[in-house]
Chain A
């Protein structure tokens, strides 16, 4: 597992049925492009987060495929509708095989 990777997610605690809620996610990750060289002139191999998904109670909200063109500490903002109370599950897939997960509960009235 890469060091210092910390996922952060902002989801409102409450919402009404059918309301579009804004979700913001940030994960600290260096997103090495594979183009940079170290002090000795050797290429630093690519090491990025290549996929991010968000699910709500098992239903997919978004699924993003990332490439090296995404900035350091990948940030995403998107909107979701929630039919009932439940839990958002956020998953990041690292090139080194690590998977980072975070869940957030939301109450729908």
Chain B
């Protein structure tokens, strides 16, 4: 088969678009931006500050397990976001009628040095937040 110059150009372009395609899909799969997640959680309401305490280590040597705890006395739900992670949404704590202090501790993954954000939804429907910077020596998340 004789390949004309025009065909070469077309082939080249389709190869480029084919290689771009998975990238676009990946960007979608990697998900929402932190703002979208916050918006979805708060419904666009203003976020104030107040009685919410997010406790993180100042320096995390291993980003694979970073212990965090959060407490907010009147919260019905608290969302934790790691703003520098490929998927910023980490966990949502929802507190039922039998939970005592509205506090929870867990261990999270952090890819790099970044801010960790906690947003609490209070019983009266308002939102408050706390933000802490964590320095990460070795990142988690794999890849």
Contact = CB atoms under 8 A, between A and B. Distances in A.
A61 B96 contact: yes
Task: State the majority secondary structure of interface residues on B.
Answer: strand
Given A33-B141, A33-B142, A70 B98 contact: no
Interface in B76-100: 80, 82, 85-100
A69 B87 contact: yes
Interface residues of A, number: 32
Interface of A: 20-21, 33, 35-37, 55-56, 59-72, 74-83
Interface of B: 64-66, 69, 80, 82, 85-101, 103-109, 140-143
Contacts, number: 107
A76 B95 CA distance: 13
Q: 7 tightest CB-CB pairs across the interface, nearest first?
A: A60-B96, A20-B100, A69-B90, A36-B142, A79-B100, A77-B105, A65-B92
A81 B98 CA distance: 5
